[in-house]
Amino acid sequence: MADVPARPFRQVLLKLHSRCNLACDYCYVYQHADQSWRTRPKVMSPEVIAAAADRVAEHVRSWGIDAIAVVLHGGEPLLAGPEAVGAVTRAVREALGGAVASRFTVQTNGVLLDQPMLEALRRHDIGVGVSLDGPAQANDRHRRYAHGAGSHADVAAGLDRLRADRFRHLYRGLLCTIDVRNDPIEVYEALLAFEPPTMDLLLPHGNWTDPPPFRVPGDPATPYGDWLVTIFDRWYDAPQRTDIRLFSSIISLLLGGSSGYEATGLDPVDYVTIETDGAIEQSDALKTAADGAAGTGLNVFDNTLDEALAHPGVRARQVGLEGLAESCRRCPAVRVCGGGHYAHRFRAPADFGNPTVYCADQLRLIDHIRDRVFADLRPALPATVR
């Protein structure tokens, strides 16, 4: 591994609750290779919360960080209840003291966004991101209750309550997992109807050993790239206040800026996960690759977050180009693509040194965005550089 200085964690995902009230058939926590959720506590105990808060504060002080983002995650974190949500927020803020800014958000399926929960989120200034896959037919294809009923109506009701004047300032955006069988414009417009400040369009998790739906490894067809290009053109031609982070990060990188987005660019990974039992882990998405792939062997009672920075999996995502496959390092799009999402590079039994399984799709999208943006910029450039 290259002798590249470690970068501190600036985002911590706290797994407040390890179970869920939905049974989404693509869920990376429950439906893939790693089944460690079965043996973990359902809810983070007060002891784990206190130890995690102390570790976060210790890390912030040791690196002189002036701000930290904390994401309450799951499972479905709101299953822990309003009191637990308040307890974990208070514990972290008290451990940090007044000198460090802390930004809290919760990523939820939206079903439990009732009035008491929203009041608790407002009281503790916790932003809210909601998962929704589009209109009812698209969303309920995957995001269902265990008894088979779709969740769209309940999520829409939760979003309507969140968007009320009293709570609207908490609204952070929508997260949509792509299914290429759904019409992209219908999905986009259905999401836009909820007026999200930001929108994340996520490729379904998969890899070279366990490919995602409708993606044949090595096939030059680009079903996901084509789907995303359709939405990009609608978004780009009629700009909205809603930011689609995948698109804006690609544009930023094409113009020499940074990414700030896990699936693009070469920015070092800057987040860590703490499970309900106190285990310190890497990205949850690695649970789709292999059993234990997200693990570090560390926990908040015995180990610091600095120790997690030294883990080979974390280091591999902080060294930039050297951490990528040779074919990626030679690719002209590498500084924009960044090799794709780390979990999507996996090939059994333990090889992450591959391009993303979505390589063709990502090149399709990047090339299309480049051509459109540069065509618009060309008239403004001096004749000598057009």
Confidence of residue 17 (pLDDT cuts 50, 70, 90): very high
pLDDT tens column, 243-262: 999 999 999 999 999 888 88
Structure tokens at 75: 């499972």
pLDDT tens column, 120-142: 999 999 999 999 999 999 999 99
In a domain, 162, yes or no: yes
The secondary structure of the chain, three-state, reads CCCCCCCCCCEEEEECECCCCCCCCCCCCCCCCCCHHHHCCCECCHHHHHHHHHHHHHHHHHHCCCEEEEEEECCCHHHHCHHHHHHHHHHHHHHHCCCCEEEEEEEECCCCCCHHHHHHHHHCCEEEEEECCCCHHHHCCCCECCCCCECHHHHHHHHHHHCCCCCHHHEEEEEEECCCCCCHHHHHHHHHCCCCCEEEEECCCCCCCCCCCCCCCCCCCCHHHHHHHHHHHHHHHCCCCCEEHHHHHHHHHHCCCCCCCCCCCCCCCCEEEECCCCEEECCHHHHHCCCCCCEEEEECCCCCHHHHHCCHHHHCCCCHHHHCCHHHHCCCCHHHHCCCCHHHHCECCCECCCCCCCHHHHHHHHHHHHHHHHHHHHHHCCHHHC
pLDDT tens column, 192-211: 999 999 999 999 999 999 99
In a domain, 244, yes or no: yes
**Nearest Cα to 316, choosing from 345, 290, 287, 359?**
345
What is the span of the domain harbouring residue 311?
11-374
In a domain, 4, yes or no: no
In a domain, 247, yes or no: yes
Reply yes or no on whether the pLDDT at 381 is more than 70: no
C-beta atoms surrounding 194 within 10 Å: 20
In a domain, 382, yes or no: no
Rounded CA-CA distance 7/364 in Å is 31
In a domain, 76, yes or no: yes
Reply yes or no on whether the pLDDT at 386 is more than 70: no
In a domain, 200, yes or no: yes
Total domains present in the chain: 1
**Pairwise pLDDT comparison (378 vs 112), residue with the higher score:** 112
In a domain, 203, yes or no: yes
CATH number at residue 146: 3.20.20.70
